Each structure stands twice: as structure tokens, then as C-alpha cells.
């Protein structure tokens, strides 16, 4: 089973590595980072690079496609070769998935027209403008498309996917292996539970601020 | 504020990248991956490498030290230069932290003698044998030492640390930015909540199996 995680300049590292850590434990899965060109790909919010192991052309038909998000998503929206690769990969994929603003890339590739999907909470309106049906859930499944909310939600999405790939027993074993028994010190992980001033400040700074 | 995340051959990627994603958002934090030698460092469970941006000798006194775990932890236990760097860095650090079996490395460096600490649930006995006081919590704070349970717990630990570094308001803003509002599809993230047969199978396969 070939799993391709798309990298691009300005990808958020955890968007890619969260699903990697889960999916690499699925029996018989071969998880690879892919990008326009193989080699180092600069992460967002950092000074280092994740390595793309293959070029997009080398992996035209992955069984599973994972599109992470990050500040670099914006530039991808006009990157024809990447969008075309996503559209073609989706035609033959078993599962097409995204994390965070990766769903905007799926939408930009035409994959989400009329499809129920989620994204980072700040980008839900942008997702709607791109023709998807926005859903404010952590993980949304519509047909073979799985989309996750912001950054850390890729872990949850990958566990949902693992259950579909190798059954709930194995998915639970993976969850136990990575000890995913979350106990964040605050309840601020969602705009509906974070303090209103924290939410307002995040909206003010967002690159998705309504015009 | 200098934050050094230790890399080593066989480090679990999420152990390092979870805290990176949180701590890189702390104002004025400079987060670097460090290793015995700068350059690519092979991750566990994968075929790719995280890049060490500096050699240990270049960062002798980080303000904050993060030691991840992973299958490569075992080899580190007899790696004198790395253990000595950890011990020296701890002497002057503001905070010394670990994720997963990284706490065994801290213990191997002599940092945890009589200190309350946690680790991956499968490694708690090994931690005790190394002189620490094992605590079955997700994040344990003892003095300036913060230790986290397995793999994904590094995200929780880093949020605890962020609150200490820049206050709860900012830590909540970071939690909201990475949308850490976990909703795993199963409750199998801890040995006390996972199905007994899943726990038993994990124990059977563990490299920490009691002799």
C-alpha cells in the first residue's frame, strides 16, 4: 500500500508528521514524502527541511494521498503541476485525505466540489468559497475523502483512516503505541472552547481574515 | 531563548516534531535540532531523516533541552558524549524536558536520580531501574524537569512548558493555532483504557518486556 504525503515549501511539519507517525505503523504501508522535486523542503514556522523522497511524477497513483497544510498552501493554489498531480492522484486513489489548509489545496485541484469537508477553523469560509461544503468537525468523511481540522487533527484523521485500512483492533494498537491519550493543560483547542479574547486575537492575525 | 531538541539515529519523528510545533510559536524562541553531528539523522519507523542544524558542541548551554525518545534510545544509553552533553546542558538549563523514552536518556545521564518522572507506559519499570521515581501521568513536573508519556504526549508537555515560558494566554493561543482539540476515534491511548487484548499484545512485542 503506497501512501504519499505531499510536501511543499512552507508545509506545517506536524501536519505531515502526525499522519506519518500513525500510518507508518499500518502493516504493509509504505509511506513516502513526495514533492515537486525530491530533496529538502522547507517547513513553515521553522528553519529546517523535511526530505521529499520522490518527485510527484514518480508516484502518479498512490493508494492514499495525504495533503498537509501550512503557510505555503497559498502559493500552491496557483501551482498548476501540483494541482494537476493532486487531481490525477485522486482519480485512482483509494483514499484522498488532507490536514488543516491542505483541504484548500484539494479544493483548488477540483476534488471537493460539493463534497463535505473541514479545514483549520480560520479557513472554513475560504473552503466554502472554493466550492466545498464546509463542516465544523475534527474529521470529516465524504465518500473516499477524509479531511481533518487544523494541524494536530491529522493524528485523529490518520487513526480514522488506519481503522479503515487495517481494522479497529490494529488502529487501537497504533493509538496505544503512540500513547495518544491527550490531556492538554487548557481547553483552548477550538474556537468554541478557547477564551473569546484568544479567539478574537487569532482572527485578527489570520491570513484568512475576511476582506 | 535557545531551545535544543536532541536528535539521534532512530528518534521517533513525532516525539521531536510535536514539541517543535508548539515551542516554535513561543515568542522569541529559537528552536533547533541538535545531534552529535550536524546533518541528516534517520528517524525510527521511517526511511527519511530529520536534519540536525547544529552539533552538540555548538549548543553547550541551551535554555531548554528537549530529549525525544524512539527505538534509537537504547543505543544512546552507552553513548558517553551524548550523555555527557545532556548532563552538562542540564546543569545550566532553565528547563530540562523529555518525551517518551527520552526520559530514559535523561536518567542515563544521571539527571533523574530521585526525580519524579514519566515515560512511555511500556518503559516505566525501566525508568525506575535507572533511579527515577516513576509516575504514571501524561506530563510530570519535578523542579525544572518536565517529562512526558509516549510519543504524542510531547504536544501536551510542550503546552505546559509554553504556559511557563510565555503565560497561559499565549499558550492557549498556540493550542488554538494548532487546533489541539483532540478527538481520537477510540479511547485506546492508555493501557488503562485500551482493550485488554490490545494491551497484552503490545506488552508481548515490547522491547521493554521484563526479563
- The answer to whether B123 touches B153, Cβ cutoff 8 Å, is no
How confident is chain A (211 residues) per 10-residue block, as mean pLDDT? 98 98 97 97 93 97 98 97 98 98 98 98 97 98 98 98 98 98 98 97 88 49
What is the per-residue pLDDT for B148?
98
Residues of A in contact with B193 (CB under 8 A): 181
Q: At A185, phi and psi to the nearest 5? A: -70, -20
Measuring CA to CA, which residue among B176, B153, B28 is closest to residue A151?
A: B176
Residue A210 is predicted with a pLDDT of 58
Q: Of A152, A172, A178, which has the smallest distance from its Cβ to B178's Cβ? A: A152
Average the pLDDT over B59-66 and give the result: 97
Q: Tell me what the pLDDT averaged over chain A comes to.
A: 97
Residues B32 and B45: their CA atoms lie apart, in Å, by 22
* pLDDT score, position A146: 98
Q: What's the rounded Cα separation, in Å, for the pair B7 and B25?
A: 20
Across all residues in chain B, what is the average pLDDT?
A: 97
CB contact under 8 A, B186 and A178: no
Which pLDDT belongs to residue B138? 98
> Which residues does chain A have within 8 Å of residue B139's beta carbon, measured at their own beta carbons?
183, 185
B interface mutation test: which of A16, A17, A162 has the most B CBs within 10 A?
A17
Judge whether B29 and B63 are in contact, CB under 8 Å: no
* pTM, full prediction: 0.97
Q: Which long-range contacts (CB under 8 A, 24 or more apart) does B120-126 make?
A: B120/A179, B120/B69, B120/B149, B120/B150, B120/B151, B121/A179, B121/B149, B121/B150, B121/B190, B121/B191, B122/B150, B122/B202, B122/B203, B122/B206, B122/B208, B123/B69, B123/B208, B125/B208, B125/B210, B126/B208
The DSSP secondary-structure symbol of A49 reads: E
Residue A108: the pLDDT is 98
State residue A46's pLDDT score: 81
B48 with A45: Cβ contact below 8 A: no
Q: Does B208 or B19 have the greater pLDDT score?
A: B19
Q: Which residues lie closer than 8 Å to B71 by C-beta, 6 or more apart?
A: B10, B12, B44, B45, B207
Residue-wise pLDDT for B157-185, tens only, equals 999 999 999 999 999 999 999 999 999 99
Q: Which of residues 41-60 of A touch B (CB under 8 A)?
A: 45-51, 53
Q: Which of A176, A193, A198 to mutate to test the interface with B (most CBs of B within 10 A)?
A: A176
DSSP per residue, B68-97 = --STTHHHHTT-HHHHHHHHHHHHH-SEEE
Residue A1: count of CB within 10 angstroms of its CB? 15
Active-site option among B65, B100, B145, B174: B100
The three cell numbers locating residue B41: 539523522
> Touching check for B188 and chain A: CB below 8 Å?
yes
Distance from the A56 Cα atom to the nearest Cα atom in chain B, whole angstroms: 17
Taking the CA of residue B111 and the nearest CA in chain A, the distance in Å comes to 24
Pairing mode, strands B139-142 and B145-148: antiparallel
Report yes or no: A146 at the B interface, CB cutoff 8 Å. no
Q: For helices B13-23 and B153-177, give the axis angle rounded to 10 degrees.
A: 30
Collect all residues of chain B within an 8 Å Cβ-Cβ radius of residue A188.
171-173, 175-176
Per-residue pLDDT at A45: 82
The pair phi, psi for residue A157, each rounded to 5°, is -60, -45
Residue B46 confidence (pLDDT): 82
The ipTM of this complex is 0.97
Q: What part of B 103-122 touches A (C-beta under 8 Å)?
A: 120-121
List Cβ neighbours of B25 (8 Å cut-off, separation of 6 or more): A45, B162, B174, B177, B178
Chain B CB within 8 Å of residue A151 CB: yes
**pLDDT given for residue B45 in this prediction:** 82
Distance of CA A174 to the CA centre of its chain: 19
Q: What is the pLDDT of residue B210?
A: 58
Cell of A164: 479503515
Question: Is the pLDDT at B134 greater than 60, yes or no?
Answer: yes
Can you name the residues that pair with B41 across neighbouring β-strands? B50
Amino acid at each position: 500500500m503506497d501512501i504519499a504525503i505531499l510536501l511543499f515549501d512552507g508545509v506545517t511539519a506536524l501536519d505531515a508528521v502526525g499522519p506519518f507517525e500513525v500510518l507508518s505503523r499500518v502493516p504493509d504501508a509504505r509511506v513516502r514524502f513526495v514533492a515537486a522535486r525530491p530533496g529538502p523542503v522547507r517547513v513553515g514556522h521553522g528553519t529546517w527541511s523535511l526530505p521529499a523522497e520522490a518527485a510527484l511524477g514518480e508516484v502518479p497513483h498512490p493508494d492514499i494521498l495525504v495533503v498537509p497544510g501550512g503557510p505555503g498552501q497559498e502559493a500552491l493554489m496557483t501551482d498548476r503541476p501540483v494541482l494537476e498531480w493532486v487531481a490525477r492522484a485522486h482519480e485512482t486513489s483509494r483514499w484522498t485525505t488532507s490536514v488543516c489548509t491542505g483541504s484548500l489545496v484539494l479544493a483548488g485541484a477540483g476534488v471537493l466540489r460539493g463534497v463535505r469537508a473541514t479545514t483549520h477553523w480560520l479557513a472554513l469560509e475560504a473552503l466554502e468559497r472554493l466550492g466545498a461544503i464546509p463542516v465544523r468537525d475534527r474529521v470529516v468523511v465524504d465518500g473516499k475523502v477524509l479531511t481533518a481540522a487544523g494541524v494536530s487533527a491529522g493524528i485523529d484523521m490518520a487513526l480514522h483512516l488506519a481503522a479503515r485500512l487495517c481494522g479497529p483492533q490494529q488502529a487501537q494498537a497504533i493509538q496505544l503505541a503512540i500513547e495518544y491519550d491527550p490531556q492538554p493543560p487548557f481547553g483552548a483547542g477550538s474556537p468554541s472552547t478557547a477564551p473569546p479574547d484568544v479567539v478574537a486575537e487569532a482572527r485578527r492575525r489570520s491570513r484568512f481574515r475576511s476582506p
